């Protein structure tokens, strides 16, 4: 790839950043669309995040993605927040305005929902209650986006119940929309019976970790099962769901789709998620 002196610039800030797949992801799109631009990894230690984000306009950057552990610091640093970032208390996408101001957005929930829409055509959050397992950072985006998209109810279970209660209190219920109901870890298999969607947001099932401890016996055949873990792509949970005939959606698509709004804002082209992109991102 050749870039000129006028190249549009963006990147991803994290610490560490070496394992991020975002440079490969955006680099693929830049090549694909023949855009004069660059998207680079930015290794920024925690004590310099604010300084680094503030420097984006001075360096001529159009913006950046923000990843672990800087999403909350970015939330505190930007000049403006979109409604989703405000609700989330976290920013994953920073867009530099014409006037040099910094806008913080959160596209993780968008990525989650778009991945389900494309991986399970016809799926709608309004189809029925969702069972969300886990209460970390990713679960926040998942729960908020499901409620925003019209899920009638989200059952939230986490090994440590207090964290699920905290998430529910922070995300809250939407006016006229669905509700979050925190349930005990031990009740997760009972809840499957009424679920239209099951989401694993825990680290269980990741390579090197034990599988998620969940017997799917009670789950209706029409339910969709998805995992935010994508190493491996087919987690034990997804394999078990597929084997009993449920539709499954793997987790890499959430990463691919969350990247779309940032790319469009920085580089001026609405990018597409394709099999070629998926293969390129998984290669690294
Ligand atoms: P994030 O990075 O998204 O904030 P995290 O803090 O690493 O996430 O949390 C990952 C999730 O995996 C949490 O819901 C965690 O449960 P706890 O809150 O009880 O720690 C869950 N998790 C991790 N190990 C687990 C295990 N062995 N069994 C069940 N859940 C587990």
pLDDT confidence of residue 172: 78
Question: Is 67 annotated as belonging to a binding site?
Answer: yes
pLDDT confidence of residue 175: 54
pLDDT confidence of residue 2: 86
From the CA of 10, how far away is ligand 1's center (Å)? Answer: 31
Question: Is 161 annotated as belonging to a binding site?
Answer: yes
Question: Is 32 annotated as belonging to a binding site?
Answer: no
Residues that are catalytic = 71
The residues of the chain scoring below 70 in pLDDT are 1, 173-178, 284
In a mutational test of the pocket of ligand 1, which residue from 203, 212, 255 has the highest number of ligand atoms less than 8 Å from its CB? 203
From atom 27 of ligand 1, which residue's Cα is the shortest distance away?
204
* pTM (two decimals): 0.96
From atom 9 of ligand 1, which residue's Cα is the shortest distance away?
136
pLDDT confidence of residue 178: 63
Q: Quick check: CB of 163 below 6 Å from ligand 1?
A: yes
From the CA of 211, how far away is ligand 1's center (Å)? Answer: 13
Q: Quick check: CB of 134 below 6 Å from ligand 1?
A: yes
Burial class (CB in 10 A: 0-12, 13-18, 19+), 175: exposed
pLDDT confidence of residue 173: 56
């Amino acid at each position: 790839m050749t870039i000129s002196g006028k190249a549009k610039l963006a990147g991803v800030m994290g610490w560490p950043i070496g394992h991020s797949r975002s440079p490969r992801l955006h680099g693929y799109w830049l090549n694909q669309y023949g855009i004069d631009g660059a998207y680079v990894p930015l290794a920024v230690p925690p004590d310099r995040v604010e300084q680094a984000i503030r420097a984006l306009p001075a360096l001529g950057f159009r913006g950046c993605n923000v990843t672990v552990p800087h999403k909350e610091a970015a939330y505190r640093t930007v000049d403006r927040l979109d409604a989703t970032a405000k609700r989330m208390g976290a920013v994953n996408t920073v867009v530099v305005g014409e006037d040099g101001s910094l806008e913080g957005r959160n596209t993780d929930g968008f990525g989650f929902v778009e991945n389900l829409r494309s991986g399970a055509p016809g799926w709608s959050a309004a189809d029925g209650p969702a069972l969300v397992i886990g209460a970390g950072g990713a679960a926040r985006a998942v729960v908020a986006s499901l409620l925003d998209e019209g899920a009638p109810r989200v059952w939230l279970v986490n090994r440590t119940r207090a964290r699920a209660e905290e998430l529910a209190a922070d995300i809250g219920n939407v006016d006229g929309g669905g509700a979050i109901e925190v349930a005990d870890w031990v009740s997760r298999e009972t809840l499957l019976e009424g679920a239209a969607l099951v989401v694993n947001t825990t680290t269980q099932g990741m390579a090197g970790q034990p599988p998620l401890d969940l017997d799917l016996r009670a789950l209706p055949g029409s339910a969709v099962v998805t995992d935010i873990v994508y190493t491996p792509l087919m987690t034990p949970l997804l394999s078990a769901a597929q084997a009993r005939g449920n539709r499954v959606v793997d987790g890499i698509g959430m990463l691919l789709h969350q990247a779309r709004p940032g790319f469009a804002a920085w580089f001026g082209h609405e990018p597409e998620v394709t099999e070629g992109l998926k293969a390129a991102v998984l290669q690294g």
